[in-house]
Structure 1
């Protein structure tokens, strides 16, 4: 599991590394809000640990920008010393998925991270995913758009289900490559080729485009009424 820590306190960073790395986490760290946005949008992460009090740009604004401007769907666990109901509701309102008040238990932090990642991957149940006029039955692997069956390659299916799980949120190129090929993505520009093939099936037969490329950033699905 690849996790980004956005935290400026070196002692907290050291404690998180000391506890999480032996559990198998791969960690990145950003020590201010602006760097946090750069890291979060520039590479793939399974979750983000975000401190509320950061230099330059606080965690609330970082979270707001990631959700509203970058449409990033990566789960966010917010850490803070502020324990009022208002502070918690503010964090949830801007897009945080969970909240821990300092001082916190490291085992609880680990458990919450894993729960967030499981939910983001829909690992609890196989279910039908819908977005706009697109429908994907994860149990039968049947995909339809406007009730017309789509015939996708196995890789195209992996790409589409990954995008539907976070739709309409953004999935970075790195994150999508990790979803499709794990930790060993091909050296060639395979993703672009597979995206092109997916578009032929998903968009070409229909009047409105759903698969949107954000150059230099990643991909997202848009509903037909947004096109």
Structure 2
């Protein structure tokens, strides 16, 4: 899952980004409306957390502009210090999926964000394939009844692949989904990540593996003796 945080207060922006990264999301950030709209035009996000009090435009303008992006309206949770009823009504009528007042509790924001993602079709039910079970909300992975310990990025990769299995996940798409645009990604970062996850699955006795489709990407397949 990848989200966009549009917030001009740097300390809050960093707090939100770090929190949701720890919760298994890939996070991009924008400090104003222009950066937010540019990000929405270039990348598909599962959801957006949007502050209304931006320095260059009102957050409602970003909310309205998202419908004109190539990826369509991105599910959105508004964060704002504006507690006027008319502001809440205007944002919800403009297409916001939820509205939270500052100050807020981070765990409640996460719960509301996940509720928005469920309503938009990005459900958080357990994913399973063969003898592997993966719980997206907790990042809990079990193989044949035994817990499999994965790094944050490994669990993100596994989730992306399980959600579309047995279809192929394009390598370039994985880079976009697993890393923020501010992170430096080496040429072999995805290959190394896939290799680590593949080894961990095999060592745990998973009856699924990761197949490399050369020049294209990767896919989940039944485990094979020659994998």
Q: In the alignment, what sits opposite 1:45? A: 45
In structure 1, what is the equivalent of residue 117 of structure 2? Answer: 117
Query: Counterpart of 2:69?
Result: 70
1:184 aligns with 2:169: yes
Matched, 1:59 2:44: no
Alpha carbons of structure 1 residues 84 and 66: separation in structure 2 relative to 1, 3 Å: same
1: CA distance, partners of 2:169 / 2:122: 22
For 2:105, the equivalent position in structure 1 comes to 105
Shift of 1:17: 2.2
CA distance in 2, matches of 1:76, 1:184: 26
**1:77-116 CA deviation, whole Å, 9 max, x = no partner?**
0110001100100111211111010000100010011111
Contact kept in structure 1, 2:60 and 2:91, CA below 8 Å: yes
Matched residue SS, 1:45: coil
Residues 60-92 of structure 1 show CA distances to partners (whole Å, capped at 9, x for unaligned) of 01111212x337222000110001100100111
Structure 2 CA distance for aligned equivalents of residues 183 and 35 of structure 1:
31
TM-score by length of 2: 0.54
Partners of 2:16 and 2:168 in 1: CA distance: 23
Cα distance change on mapping 1:84 and 1:187 into 2, 3 Å: closer
Q: Secondary structure at the match of 1:96?
A: coil
State how far apart, in whole Å, the 2-side matches of 1:18 and 1:106 are.
11
> How far apart are residue 184 of structure 1 and its match?
3.5
Runs of 4+ in 1 over 4 A off after TM superposition: 178-183
Q: Which runs of 5 or more residues in structure 2 are unaligned?
A: 126-161, 174-227
Alpha-carbon distance change, 183 to 50 in structure 1, aligned in 2, over 3 angstroms: farther
Q: What value does the CA root-mean-square deviation take over the aligned residues?
A: 2.9
